[in-house]
Amino acid sequence: MYDTKAIMRKAFRISKVRNESAIRIRVPGGHLDAAHLSVIRELAETFGNGTVHLTTRQGYEIPGVKLTDLGAISRHMAEMIADIEVACGVVLESPEDGYPAAGTRNVCACIGNRVCRFANFDTTALARKIEQAIYPNHTHLKVAITGCPNDCIKAHLHDIGIVGTVVPEYDPSRCIGCEACLDNCKKKITNALSFEDFAITRDEDYCLRCGECILKCPTGAFSRGKKLYRILLGGRTGKRNPRLAQTFVENATQDIVLGICRNLHRFIATYIDQSKAKEHMGYIIDRTGFDTFKSFVLEGLTLGPDVKVVQPTNPGYVYPRRP
């Protein structure tokens, strides 16, 4: 009567309530034109039970809709989902049929520099570009973007996490030696700064490029240099072996971030274990080894001298299997 797999591929849910579904709406970067909310409200009140759930991945989920209504629902929300995706540069060929894929999950982002003082870049804008690089696609992949190393979006729990960093530029002729940068770095971050001969030196080996020295400086002696990105790899939740991601690429440009994102699905498609329902990327890398992953996703990219590629080594936490 219903093809559950086809329904789920369109991002609808198979509910625990017989004959019911839930609508799921992608919001890349978690930022939406408020005008779309009226459509979300209409969907909830016309087809659902009048409530809306904010998903763990910054989308909307509208529960209590009938499986028989999915066609009408798809037509009702066609214009909205097409608009949201077009803002990312993704053109849906037939939005009146609903979403073309659900495997690659909504790209999450913290609020970024449109609002936050700590953020080192516009996370929403990058989330939209990454949406274009990885969606639509049926393979399971989670990407999150965070504006600074505070990692409020928890990019460390994603297959790919993008952390915005900034190179602090120091002009000693503007420094008054108040040590506000140093005291803060020592107390809160990695103690990467030292003060000698009435000037600050920054230890590149320890600096996380979070940019807090720039925020603290009362004279602008520290100012914003290049925006660079740290790409985290291998984070996940899940039953067996949850794991925090670790640095994969340090000092990446936005082109490198997008290049790697574009290459991910080719790696997954080549090595995925088809016998499993939806093998996650992290487990595929565990099988193929890091070097295979690296050579696939860095293919065709020019890295430049400052870019460092690192092998994550965190085995994560393992719930033992009974022998």
Contacts with other proteins by CB under 8 A lie at 113, 117, 119-122, 147, 164, 166, 172-180, 183, 197-199, 211, 214-220, 223-224, 227
Q: Which residues contact 169 (CB under 8 A, 6 or more apart)?
A: 222, 223, 224, 225
Between 88 and 119, CB nearer to other proteins: 119
Contact, 232 vs 156, CB < 8 A?
A: yes
Tokens standing for residue 3: 């093809």
Between 213 and 301, CB nearer to other proteins: 213
CA distance 290 to 250: 16
Between 182 and 272, CB nearer to other proteins: 182
CA distance 101 to 84: 15
Instruction: Report the nearest approach of other proteins to the CB of residue 119 (Å).
Output: 6
Instruction: Report the nearest approach of other proteins to the CB of residue 211 (Å).
Output: 7
Between 75 and 226, CB nearer to other proteins: 226
Instruction: Report the nearest approach of other proteins to the CB of residue 171 (Å).
Output: 9
Between 134 and 228, CB nearer to other proteins: 228
Instruction: Report the nearest approach of other proteins to the CB of residue 279 (Å).
Output: 37
Task: Output b/e per residue, 195-226; b: 16+ Cβ within 10 A.
Answer: eeeeebebeeeebebbbbbbebbeeebbbeee
From 258, 226, 251, select the one nearest 120 (Cα to Cα): 226
From 156, 160, 150, 73, select the one nearest 116 (Cα to Cα): 150
Residue with tokens 């609903």: 98
C-alpha dihedral, 13 to 16 to 20 to 22, nearest 10°? -30
Between 172 and 289, CB nearer to other proteins: 172
Instruction: Report the nearest approach of other proteins to the CB of residue 246 (Å).
Output: 25
Instruction: Report the nearest approach of other proteins to the CB of residue 270 (Å).
Output: 37
